[in-house]
Amino acid sequence: ILLAAGALMTVIGFLGCCGALRESQCLLGTFFVFLMIILVAEIAGGVWAYMNRAELNKLVQESVRDTVRRDYGKDDVTTKTFDMIQKTLKCCGAESYASWANSAYNGVGEKSQMEIGISALS
């Protein structure tokens, strides 16, 4: 979503620059209309997020929990991004440090030597 929004803003910005350089009322008018549409969409998104903040909070917690459980420690980009988010926000896991108990980083889901058996050690 963020990449699409960034690409759209780039195209709209280019439209505004072309309109200003050519002094075209049509291009500048189109630029203004697109900016108004984006402003209304941002306001609508903010109102929706405010009205559904409990559901949004639950969705974010589930997403963080799933990321910690499946991807952390396996995917380098996900690991570095998640580390940066936690350092910046000064948080740990979805709810607390206990979120890490069932993570792939903690070795959950992988076979250890104890699980393989004594015969495999020889």
**pLDDT tens, per residue, the chain with 122 residues:** 778 888 989 999 998 999 999 998 999 999 999 999 999 998 999 999 999 999 998 998 888 888 878 877 777 888 888 888 888 888 777 777 777 777 766 666 554 444 444 444 44
Whole-angstrom Cα distance, residue 45 to residue 42? 5
Helix 25-51 vs helix 2-22: angle between axes, to the nearest 10 degrees?
A: 150
What predicted TM-score, i.e. pTM, was given to this entire model?
0.55
Could you tell me if 100 and 93 are in contact, meaning their C-beta atoms sit under 8 angstroms apart?
yes
